[in-house]
Structure 1
């Protein structure tokens, strides 16, 4: 358990880029991450839901973590390492740490089971590197009950539920738990309430606005929401919007 957050403020839930044949573009993904860090983004989460982690091999996961780590030496790199049971989650956590991850983000197993045992084994495999729980059912595994958090031995939580009451409950637990919102609609609110930071997909597209929204700029918060709405209206969503802004590949493995 750490006593200080690994980072504060907005981090990006990074897209992973694929070429026209669907192969991983690790270098271009890392270059995109570096561009966002240069804009002020405080951390990079690789191989999460936004990165289409469910469609990646374990070797591709490692390649992407290593590439982003090399491209972004000045900020924490956090690797998604969820699994359907503790063994793949633990193996992915250990591999991510060897590849240079500063922390791992792990959703509970989709089919349930003992959360204490699951996170205990993942933490053991992570060998002292912080483990963040991930609450985003049913998109990423099962739920993380707020009342169970203090007994899991995790360093923090990413809560993508967009439930402001739940966020307040998590922050009310006190202690060293670092709470990160995964909901771009709650950037300013989470900052005001005292959250450690945020991990949001919108930071791929509008990093400066995400930073300003975290600093409670209402106009920036509206700009983030508008960018999200507009990208969701596109065929291919976020990746099409990124292609239009940055010239990156719009290819998806999931939903493509």
Structure 2
């Protein structure tokens, strides 16, 4: 398998929609380019933050292609999870064809044999690396730490926010990259030895995300407050609209 690992914060990108709910691929890509210019090391498209569950497969590929064109100098990772291996494999093949450098894939929500599931996904991905996505209850099922070394993976995004689990992933004797998806663990993850972070809050606070990763404790606390503020209030899309003037429309929630 190939390797597109990056070090440091990446953005878990939102997907923009117009007032009628239609996908705005070019506007989404323009936002991605703005965040890359602000220092984001990679862009993750069509993940849970990107409302992937509400995208058609054609829309997913369209957004990937637009972001790839707008962000030629950083890795573009595409979510391609599915409820069974065929769905995930088909999505993986489509997003790689659209320009994704790697894929982010959660296990099926209802479980199953992970070696078969990820094996089929890896076949569909070809030379593109496969990252597992551990965020049970939000994005599919669980990825047990003990299973990681036996799967055809280039790494993992762990959004559980559990420090001990993150440490166990980093301590594994495997070559996989480990990315936290938890804003609260951004600085801690670097200190512990993680490869990087993939953050939803980076959509609205890229500078704080970078500073927290670099060990600025004040920035880490402010990053947590920023995330808590939009989660307790109008939501991430509304916070983005306030800062950047982007469309606040959501398909989910």
TM range (shorter): over 0.9
Provide Cα deviations, 1:120-151, integer angstroms capped at 9, x if missing partner: 00000001100000000010100000000000
RMSD: 0.8
Provide Cα deviations, 1:91-142, integer angstroms capped at 9, x if missing partner: 0100010010000000001111100000000000001100000000010100
**Structure 2: stretches of 5+ with no match in the other structure:** none
Provide Cα deviations, 1:182-221, integer angstroms capped at 9, x if missing partner: 0010000000111110001010000011001001110110
Matches of residues 56-95 of structure 1 in structure 2 within 5 Å? 56-95=55-94
> Aligned pair in 2 of structure 1 residues 106, 203: CA closer, same or farther (>3 Å)?
same
Normalising to structure 1: TM-score of the pair? 0.97
2:4–2:102 Cα contact (<8 Å) kept: no
Provide Cα deviations, 1:35-71, integer angstroms capped at 9, x if missing partner: 0000000000000000000000000000000000000
Normalising to structure 2: TM-score of the pair? 0.99
Matched residues, number? 253
**Which residue of structure 1 lines up, in the alignment, with residue 104 of structure 2?**
105
Q: Distance in 2 between matches of 1:62 and 1:38?
A: 23
Q: Distance in 2 between matches of 1:75 and 1:195?
A: 19
**Which residue of structure 2 lines up, in the alignment, with residue 34 of structure 1?**
33
**Which residue of structure 2 lines up, in the alignment, with residue 254 of structure 1?**
252
Q: Distance in 2 between matches of 1:114 and 1:234?
A: 39
Matches of residues 149-164 of structure 1 in structure 2 within 5 Å? 149-164=148-163
**Which residue of structure 2 lines up, in the alignment, with residue 117 of structure 1?**
116
1:19–1:25 Cα contact (<8 Å) kept: yes
Q: Distance in 2 between matches of 1:251 and 1:107?
A: 25
1:146–1:169 Cα contact (<8 Å) kept: yes
Q: Distance in 2 between matches of 1:139 and 1:73?
A: 30
Q: Distance in 1 between matches of 2:73 and 2:102?
A: 14
**Structure 1: stretches of 5+ with no match in the other structure:** none
